[in-house]
Structures are given as structure tokens and as C-alpha cells.
């Protein structure tokens, strides 16, 4: 971060060149390039290895839900549901409230119509972990079986965890 904070500190154009020069390397652009969302979308649309990280963008779901809806709809429209990854800036706060809000969140009808997208439970599941698992080559179903009957799951049954 530059002090005083410069808008140029958030320029995402360098990712375009890096993604082109290193096609086998994946780039997760946190904050989805905010305040340069449109620039980010143009780059991520063209580069197969550029992904959207929702840290900083995600908390707008609380104070500015419509703005958050516009961000998510833009990402879904331009780069698709498979290239959006949950981010929370977890070191700053705990993300449970954010996940709860996201799971309950629905795009307003006018935004759905304008962008031609929806935010279904299946898409939310991808954003909250499925896409990251795919990106990192993690077989979620295989890992679920590994932890179904282990020492920790015996102490904390899934039903009990889901109640919290």
C-alpha cells in the first residue's frame, strides 16, 4: 500500500502480461481488482489462468448489498461461475457472518435480468470452496470420506457442527 494511498496501487494491468507470459501459472486477483473491477473482468475474460478473489469485495454484502450484487453479477457475466473464489481477509476478522450472509443472499430481480445471471446454491458452493478445490486439484469427495469416521468427527458430529 502506498501512503498516501494512490489509486494506481490497485492497477491490475500487470496481471495481464504475467498471465500471458506464464500460462501454466494461475493468478488469483484478490479484491477482484477493486476499484478497477471492469479492467479486471476484461483481463480475466481473456486469460484462462486469472481468477477472482472476493476478499474486500465480499464484506460489501452487509453495508451495500446492491453494490455487492453488481460486483457478483459482473463477475458471473464476464468470467463465469468457475473462476470466482471466496475470500474474507480472515486474519482481520472471522468469516462466519460473511458466509451466513452470502448463503442467504439473492441477486435482485432487475440485476438478474440485466446481467442474465443468477446466484444459485450450486454456484455459491463453488464460490465458497468448490472452485478453490478444483484449482488446487483437491478431490473434495475423497477428503470427505477420509474424515467421516476419524477421531475429530467422533468428537464433533457433522449435525452438531451445522447447528453452530
Q: How confident is residue 164, by pLDDT bands cut at 50, 70 and 90?
A: very low
Question: Which domain CATH number covers 123?
Answer: 3.20.20.140
Q: How confident is residue 144, by pLDDT bands cut at 50, 70 and 90?
A: confident
* Residue 64 resides in a domain: yes
Neighbours of 82 (CB within 10 A): 14
Give pLDDT tens digits for 66-125: 999 999 999 999 999 999 999 887 767 778 889 999 999 999 999 999 999 999 999 999
* Residue 160 resides in a domain: no
- Rounded Cα gap, residues 77 and 79, in angstroms: 6
Give pLDDT tens digits for 1-47: 556 667 676 788 889 999 999 999 999 999 998 888 999 999 999 99
At residue 156, the pLDDT reads 73
User: Which residues, other chains included, contact 115 with Cβ-Cβ below 8 Å and sequence gap of 6+?
Assistant: 73, 74, 76, 77
pLDDT value at 60 more than 90: yes
- Rounded Cα gap, residues 102 and 55, in angstroms: 13
Task: Print the domain residue range for 25.
Answer: 7-139
Q: How confident is residue 161, by pLDDT bands cut at 50, 70 and 90?
A: very low
At residue 86, the pLDDT reads 94
* Residue 152 resides in a domain: no
* Residue 164 resides in a domain: no
* Residue 45 resides in a domain: yes
Q: Look at the chain and report how many structural domains it folds into.
A: 1
- Rounded Cα gap, residues 62 and 141, in angstroms: 32
At residue 143, the pLDDT reads 82
* Residue 78 resides in a domain: yes
* Residue 161 resides in a domain: no
* Residue 149 resides in a domain: no
Cell 472476493 found at: 54
Amino acid at each position: 500500500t502506498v501512503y498516501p494511498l494512490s489509486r494506481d496501487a490497485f492497477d491490475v494491468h500487470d496481471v495481464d502480461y504475467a498471465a500471458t507470459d506464464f500460462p501454466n501459472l494461475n493468478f488469483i486477483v484478490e479484491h477482484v481488482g477493486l476499484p478497477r473491477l471492469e479492467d479486471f473482468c476484461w483481463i480475466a475474460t481473456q486469460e484462462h489462468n486469472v481468477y477472482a478473489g472476493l476478499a474486500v469485495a465480499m464484506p460489501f454484502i452487509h453495508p451495500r448489498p446492491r453494490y455487492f450484487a453488481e460486483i457478483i453479477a459482473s463477475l458471473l457475466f464476464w468470467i463465469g461461475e468457475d473462476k470466482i473464489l471466496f475470500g474474507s481477509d480472515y486474519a482481520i476478522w472471522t468469516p462466519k457472518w460473511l458466509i451466513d450472509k452470502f448463503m442467504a443472499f439473492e441477486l435482485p430481480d432487475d440485476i438478474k435480468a440485466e446481467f442474465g445471471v443468477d446466484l444459485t446454491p450450486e454456484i455459491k458452493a463453488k464460490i465458497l470452496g468448490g472452485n478453490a478445490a478444483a484449482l488446487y486439484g483437491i478431490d473434495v469427495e475423497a477428503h470427505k470420506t477420509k474424515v467421516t469416521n476419524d477421531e475429530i468427527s467422533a468428537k464433533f458430529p457433522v449435525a452438531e457442527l451445522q447447528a453452530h
